[in-house]
Structure 1
Amino acid sequence: MKGKGKGSGSSCSSSASEECPLQFPDVSPLDHTTVCPRYTAVTQGDTALTLDDVDTLQLELEALLVSCCARKRQLAHETQVLVSWQEKKIPLPTCTPGKRQRPSDGKPGSKKFKDGGKVFTGGRPPRKHIGTPASTPHHEEGQATPQSVPRNDAPNRFWASLEPYCAEITQEDLRMLEELIHSREDDAEYYRIPVLGRHYAHRWAQEDLLEEQNEGAKAAAAGDTTETKPSRRTVQDSKEADRMLRGAAKELESSDACLLGPLAQRLVSCLVEENLMCSVEDADVGGAAPLAVAGAAQLERRVRRELQEQGLLEEGSAVDNADDQVLAELRRCQAELRALSAHNSSQLATLLKRARDRLQEQELRRKLRIVDNEVLDIFRRISSTRQRKKSPTKKDREQALRALRDRQALVRQVDRLSAGAAKH
C-alpha cells in the first residue's frame, strides 16, 4: 500500500510540473566589469574621459541598455504567462503520499490501482499548457512586445544636429556672411561720444526753483478762495522766485557761452602774448564781466576737426578733462569694442573667402563626378565591344581621350584649391 501511495504522489508532482508553463529564463544582469571596461573605469573615477573614448563609451552604454530591455521583456512575458495560467488553471486534487483516494461514483475501487498510478478526477483529463493554443497567444504577444518598445534614437538626433555643420556651402550661406559684414559698417554710432550736457547741480537747482514756484502758485490760488485778494507776503514770494529763476537762467547762459573747450583754450592761449599781461593792481576786477563767446561748442568741434584733417591730432585722442571718470570708462569700453569689432571683421572676411573657395571646389567636384560617370560609360561600352571580339571605333577612342583629359584638368584644379585652403 505504501509503495502504491508513493507512486501516486510522484505522478501528481510530475503532472503539476507539466502544468506549469513558466520558462524561468536567466535574467541576471550584465557583468559590466568585463563587458564594459571603459564604463566601469569612468564610474569608478580611475581615468579621465577623453574625446577618443566617447564612441567606445556609447557602444558600451547601448549594450547595457539592450541587456536591460531584454531582461525587462522576459520578466514581463513571464508575469503575463503566470497571470494567464492562474486565471485558466484547472483545479487539481491534493495528492498526499501514503493515503488512498476515494473511488469515483459508479467505479470499482480496484480500477484506480490498475491504471498504473494515474489519478482520475472524474472530469476531463488535464491538458498540457505548454503546447496548447491557450499559451500560444501569450508567447506571440511576448514576441510582439519588443516592437512596442521605443527605440533609441539618440544617435539619429545627434547626427541630425551635426548635419548642418557638415553640409555643403550654398549661395544662401555666402549671402548671410556678406550681410553680416555689411551690418558692421553701421557701428560708427557706438564710437560717437555725446556732447556733455548741463551739470546736474544747475539742473537740479532750476528744477527746485520751478517746484517752489509751482507751490507758490498753488498757495496763491488757494488764498484767492478764502480771501478777496492775496497778501503782500505771497506776492513778494512769487516775485522773488521769478527773479531767482531769471538770474539762474542768465547765469547758465553766460557760463555756457564763456566756457571754451580744451582745444579752443589752447588755441587762444597761443594767440595771446605774455608781455601784454597787465598787473593785478591795474586790472578792474570789480565790474569785469566774463567774456561771452557765442558757439563755444561749435568752435571746439571745428578746431578738433581741423587738427585731425591736418594730422596733428589723432581721432579719438583724449584731450578732455582727466577727472571725468565716466568719459574715461566710456573711452575704455569703446577701445575694447573697436578691437573686438576689428577681430570679428577679419574673421568674417577670412570665412567669406574660404566659403567662396569651398563653393568653387564643390562645383569642380560636381563636374568631376559627371566626367567620372562619362568615363565609366565609355569604359563599359569599349569593354562590351572587346567582349564581342571587335575593336573600338575611332569615335569611342576620341571620346575616351577627351574625357580623360577633362578629368585630369579638373583633378589638378581641385588639388590646387585644396592646397590653397590648407595653407590658410
Structure 2
Amino acid sequence: MKVIVIEDNILFCDYICSLLQKADFKTMKAHGLAQAKKMIRGSIHEDDMVLADLRLPDGESTALLKWMRDNGYMHPFIMMTNYEEIHSAVHAMKLGAEDFILKPLVEDKLLPAIRKIKAANDTFSKVIYERRSASFCELNQYIHLVAPTDMTVLILGNTGTGKEHLANKIHRRSLRANKPYIKVDCGSLSKDLAASAFFGHVKGAFTGATEEKAGYFLEAQGGTLFMDEVENLSIETQRMLLRAMEERSYRPVGGKQDRRMDVRIIAATNEDLFQAVAEKRFRKDLLYRFHDFTITVPALQNCLEDILPLADFFREQSCAELRKEVVGFDGPAKEMLLGYSWPGNVRQLKQVVYAAVLICKGNLITPDFLRLKQTETDAPNSAKKKKIDKCLQKDEKRNIEQIKTAISISKGNLTQAAALLGISRPTLYKKMSIHGISK
C-alpha cells in the first residue's frame, strides 16, 4: 500500500514521507487540492490511504474528503491539524475521515494510526482482493458504483460465496463508513420477537420486557443494516419491514411515538426469492423494495482463476494461526483444487486448506492432505483442462514474480525480502528452492 501525503510545507512533507518510508510504506506527495485530485484520479489503488493537512493553499482538505466520497473514493483518510483546528477535524470525522492527528504529535501518533487502519482492512480485504477472475472484477465494479449511494442492495449467491464480506465492503466504501454496521441473522429471529429485535421496545411492553431495548434499526442509525438470510423472515415481519422502509420511520413495540429511520439496508439470500413469492413465502412488494440494486456472487467453480490465490491466502493465514511452516501446494494438489466442484464455495475452500495445513507433515500440501473426494462429475473435460493448465502456469508465474520483486526491492537482503512477503526467512529459502530462484 502507499500513503498519499498532502502538505504544502515542503520540509514537513518530506519529513512525513521519510517517516513512512522507514516503516516500509510507499508514499506520493501533493502540495495542494488540485494536485491531490489529479493524483487520486490517476494513481490511487484500492488499498491506499490519504494523509492530508487541514489547511492548504487552495482550500481545506475537508473539501477534498467530500470530493473523494462524492466520487466513490472510499479510501481511508487521516487529517493533520493544529491544536486550534480540532473543531474542523471533528467535522472531517463526520464526513468519513478515519482519524485526525495533531501535528506536534505526528511522530508518535501517525504510524500507530496507519497500522491500526491497515490491520482492520487486511483480514477482510485480502480475501476480496485476491479474487481476480473476470466475474469478480465485474462484481467489484458494481460495488464501486453502488457503495457511495443510499440504494438498498440485494446480494444473491450460494452458501459460502462470501455475501457477508461483500456487504461489509459496500458499507466500508459508503458515505456511512464511519457509522455503525449491524448484522442481523434473519434465520435466528422468531416470529414473536422479530418486531422487538428490529424496532426495539419500551419497558413493560410485554411480559418479560423489564427494561427498554434499542432494536437493530436504532443501533444502525446513520449506518448500515445487513439482513442475512432474508428468506427466513415471517410474512408478518416482512409487512412491518416494508412499512418502515417505505415511510422511513418505525415505532418501538409498546411505544407511542414514531422514530425517524436513517439506515441503509443491504439484504442477502441464497434462495430464489421470485420462487418464494410464487410459493407465498415472501412478499412481492418487499422483494421489489429490496431490488433497488442486485448483485449476484458467482460460485467458486465458475471463477477458476480465484482458487489458487485464495488457497494461498488461507494457507498463510492458517500457518500463522497454527504456528506451522507450510510453504505451498505441490502440482497434483493444485490440480485437485482446480478440478474440484466446491459445492461449499469459498467457505469450504478455507476449511479444506486449514485442515490440510494442520495435518501436513512436510513443507508442501499434497492431495492426501486435502482429503477431497473426487467424483466423476469433477473429472475435467478438455475445455476445463485447458483452463486448469492456464491457471497453473499463471500461478507459477505469480509466485516467482512475487519472490523476485521482494528480493529486488530489498536489494538482495533475504531477511527484508521475507518480511515484505510476510513469511520467515527459512520459508523464503524453501520457496526459492521450489521455484529454482537464486539470490
Measured against the shorter chain, the TM-score band is under 0.3
The structure carrying a bigger strand percent of its residues is 2
Find the structure with the greater CA-based Rg: 1
More RCO (CA 8 Å, sep 6+): 1
TM-score (norm 2): 0.18
